[in-house]
């Protein structure tokens, strides 16, 4: 099906059809004419040629999501949401892993390979952050905010911590330990601050947090130190950390949740199939990826960047790893 076929059926010129289908803001047509063109294109199954559209707009029609690691499960879900929404806008979304030695984003930007960047690796001293700050290249920071950038697309991290504390205190827990993420990541700092605020608001003791990456190995290695504070529950910053913590507790002879509870920030497909099944705080990651693309495409169409917190809220998924608190904390293994 060709552009001229749509024009003939809609009884307009090829130029008008092209400008309407490419959402040209300067085209002057009546609303009923615009609707007729869109309906005819849909009925005829017309698909604009991606290469022609790119040439017409001087764009590549490609966006890139830079993830701190493609082993990081949340970014796979964010990428899925971004890919689907990008396709709705007529763009292809690419996923790239960030390497400090050779920043993927720098190669994509300087090589003119993409029209915009969804930056998920945004520690304050990251070299690409400084590069983006000095350039006019369209970009947004997704999931990990950069203070003062004015283009952060995030979710309600504080509510996720509040949900975890609400759930655990509702089960009678009063001594809750937190395994935080890397100290330099702003979203992790926000999560920790919200956790501590929720603990303080309830008049509970504030146990010293630990910091580390989001892996199972960190959870396993950190659990022994967390137990020194004699918690009855542990709130981790990732499902991976929770799995590592639970493995250590099991090896140490502590029963989960009979003797100690574990809850994770972030849900994951296997959460209901581990032993025990892990109680989690599910996050609107698909929606986050989609919203980041919307904001980036808006920039490409001339809108100024802005900060956005998506309206979708975190959700609690109660499974088997949390239960009522014991009268006294478990004894740490020696």
- Per-residue pLDDT reduced to its tens digit, 1-38: 677 888 999 999 888 888 888 766 677 888 889 889 88
Domain span at residue 109 reads 62-155+285-312
* Residues 149 and 201 placed together within one structural domain of the fold: no
- Cβ atoms of 93 and 64 within 8 Å: the answer is yes
**Are both 293 and 263 inside the same structural domain?**
no
Instruction: Give the residue from 188, 172, 190 showing the smallest Cα distance to 180.
Output: 188
Average pLDDT score, the chain: 88
* Alpha carbon 212 to its chain's center: 19
Residues 180 and 32 in one domain: no
Cβ(157)–Cβ(191) below 8 Å: yes
- What was the pLDDT predicted at 53? 54
- Provide the whole-model pTM: 0.79
The answer to whether residue 332 sits within a structural domain is no
**291 and 273 in a common domain:** no
Model confidence at 122: pLDDT above 70? no
pLDDT over threshold 80, residue 333: no
CATH of the domain at 206: 3.40.50.2300
For β-strands 279-282 and 308-309, DSSP reports them as: unpaired
Specify whether 107 is located in the same domain as 203: no
Residue 34 is part of a domain; what is its CATH number? 1.10.260.40
* pLDDT, position 246: 98
What pLDDT is stored for residue 127 in this prediction? 75
Residue 334 maps to a domain: no
Q: What are all long-range contacts of 268-273, with beta carbons under 8 Å and residues at least 24 apart? A: 268/73, 268/239, 271/239, 271/317, 271/319, 272/319
212 and 294 assigned to the same domain: no
d(CA 81, CA 86): 9
pLDDT at 124: 63
Same-domain pairing of 270 and 179 = yes
Q: Is the pLDDT of residue 205 over 60?
A: yes
């Amino acid at each position: 099906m060709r552009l001229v076929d749509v024009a003939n059926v809609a009884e307009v010129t090829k130029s008008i059809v092209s400008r309407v289908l490419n959402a040209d803001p300067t085209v002057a047509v009546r609303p009923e004419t615009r609707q007729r063109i869109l309906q005819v294109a849909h009925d005829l199954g017309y698909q604009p040629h991606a290469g022609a559209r790119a040439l017409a707009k001087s764009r590549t029609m490609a966006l890139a999501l830079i993830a701190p690691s493609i082993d990081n499960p949340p970014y796979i879900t964010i990428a899925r949401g971004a890919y689907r929404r990008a396709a709705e806008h007529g763009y292809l979304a690419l996923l790239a892993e960030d390497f400090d030695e050779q920043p993927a984003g720098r190669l994509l930007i300087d090589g003119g390979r993409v029209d915009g960047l969804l930056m998920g690796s945004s520690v304050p001293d990251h070299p690409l952050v400084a590069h983006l700050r000095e350039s006019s290249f369209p970009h947004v920071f997704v999931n990990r905010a950069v203070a003062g950038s004015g283009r952060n697309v995030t979710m309600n991290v504080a509510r996720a911590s509040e949900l975890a504390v609400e759930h655990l205190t509702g089960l009678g827990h009063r001594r809750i330990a937190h395994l935080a993420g890397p100290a330099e990541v702003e979203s992790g700092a926000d999560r920790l601050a919200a956790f501590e605020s929720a603990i303080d608001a309830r008049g509970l003791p504030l146990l010293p947090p630990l910091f580390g990456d989001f892996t199972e190995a960190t959870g396993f290695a950190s659990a022994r130190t967390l137990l020194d504070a004699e918690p009855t529950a542990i709130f981790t910053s990732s499902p991976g950390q929770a799995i590592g913590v639970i493995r250590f507790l099991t090896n140490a002879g502590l029963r989960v949740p009979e003797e100690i509870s574990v809850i994770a920030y972030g849900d994951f497909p296997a959460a209901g199939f581990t032993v025990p099944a892990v109680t989690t705080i599910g996050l609107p990651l698909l929606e986050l990826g989609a919203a980041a693309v919307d904001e980036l495409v808006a920039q490409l169409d001339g809108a100024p960047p802005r900060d956005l917190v998506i309206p979708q809220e975190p959700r609690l998924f109660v499974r088997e790893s949390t239960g009522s608190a014991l009268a006294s904390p478990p004894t740490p293994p020696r």
